[in-house]
């Protein structure tokens, strides 16, 4: 078992090292689908999000064991990069890699639990009226990410948290194991918005303010964003239809 701990949390090392054996009894179950997330309180009172990544299929166990960094390790390292660029993401505490017969099994990522109370999934059915300032702030936050050469490759609504205080919106990003750090042009930036939920009117509004923030041509940016968005969701619907027919 490999355990890497943020030095700021070395005082929790014994508790952290026992997580693989105590995981199912820790705190409260928050999410349990492909991966499992529990929210627990450490002995020092820190509220911690513990994500257990599922055991990969056999070929990926070989790849992650020999050729590629496991997801938990990448997410842990990416968090430090984001914070060094003044981008809000939960503070990384530790990651744990468990192996059996030399191959990766379960892996765990520990971060501080985010205090932000909302996520962008709320805009799937949300009326834009009265919420334009949130969407404008989100567009500007996305532009800030891209200007800082940060491309979140799973920039979906559930991975974008936010909160509002005195009409100021604060954002944070999670599930950050899939990221690239390189210049982001208009095409890549617009494509990055394709996973968002909501109306085409909302997407056009976000793209418009994203373009303004990055000094892009607004009309081109709006059209590119909508093209990528329609393409992504049509492909998603097609896959769902095919799998439902197969079942």
Which mean pLDDT values do the consecutive 10-residue runs of the chain (247 residues) have? 97 98 96 94 98 84 80 97 98 95 91 96 84 96 98 97 93 97 98 94 96 98 97 78 45
pLDDT computed for residue 130 by the predictor: 87
Give, rounded to a whole angstrom, the gap between the first and last alpha carbons of the chain.
39
Domain 118-243 in the same topology as domain 2-112: no
Question: What is the Cα–Cα distance from 100 to 209, expressed in whole angstroms?
Answer: 50
Q: Which long-range contacts (CB under 8 A, 24 or more apart) does 95-99 make?
A: 95/3, 95/4, 95/70, 96/1, 96/2, 96/3, 96/4, 96/16, 96/17, 96/19, 96/20, 96/72, 97/1, 97/2, 97/70, 97/72, 97/73, 98/1, 98/20, 99/1, 99/2, 99/65
pLDDT computed for residue 126 by the predictor: 72
pLDDT computed for residue 193 by the predictor: 97
Question: What is the Cα–Cα distance from 53 to 109, expressed in whole angstroms?
Answer: 8
Locate the domains of the chain by residue range: 2-112, 118-243
Does pTM top 0.85 for this prediction?
yes
Asked if 7 contacts 79 with a C-beta cutoff of 8 angstroms, the reply is no
Asked if 27 contacts 36 with a C-beta cutoff of 8 angstroms, the reply is no
Judge: domain 118-243, CATH 1.10.510. yes
For the domain bounded by 2-112, which CATH number is listed? 3.30.200
């Amino acid at each position: 078992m490999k355990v890497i701990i943020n030095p700021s949390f070395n005082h929790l090392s014994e508790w952290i090292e026992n997580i693989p054996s105590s995981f199912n009894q820790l705190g409260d179950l928050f999410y349990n689908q492909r991966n499992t997330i529990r929210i627990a309180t450490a002995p020092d009172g820190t509220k911690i999000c513990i994500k257990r990544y599922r055991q990969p299929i056999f070929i990926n166990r070989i790849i992650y064991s020999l050729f590629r960094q496991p997801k938990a390790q990448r997410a842990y390292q990416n968090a430090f990069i984001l914070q060094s660029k003044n981008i809000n993401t939960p503070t990384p505490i530790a990651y744990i890699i468990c192996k059996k017969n030399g191959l990766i099994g379960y892996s765990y990522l520990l971060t501080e639990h985010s205090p932000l109370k909302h996520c962008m999934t709320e805009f799937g059915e949300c009326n834009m009226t009265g919420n334009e300032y949130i969407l404008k702030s989100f567009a500007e936050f996305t532009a800030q990410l891209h200007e800082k050469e940060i491309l979140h490759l799973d920039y979906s609504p559930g991975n974008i948290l936010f909160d509002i205080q005195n009409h100021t919106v604060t954002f944070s990003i999670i599930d950050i194991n899939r990221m690239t750090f390189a210049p982001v042009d208009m095409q890549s930036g617009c494509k990055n918005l394709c996973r968002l939920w909501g109306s085409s009117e909302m997407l056009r509004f976000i793209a418009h303010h994203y373009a303004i923030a990055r000094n892009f041509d607004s009309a081109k940016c709006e059209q590119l964003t909508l093209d990528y968005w329609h393409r992504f969701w049509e492909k998603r619907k097609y896959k769902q239809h095919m799998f439902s027919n197969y079942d």
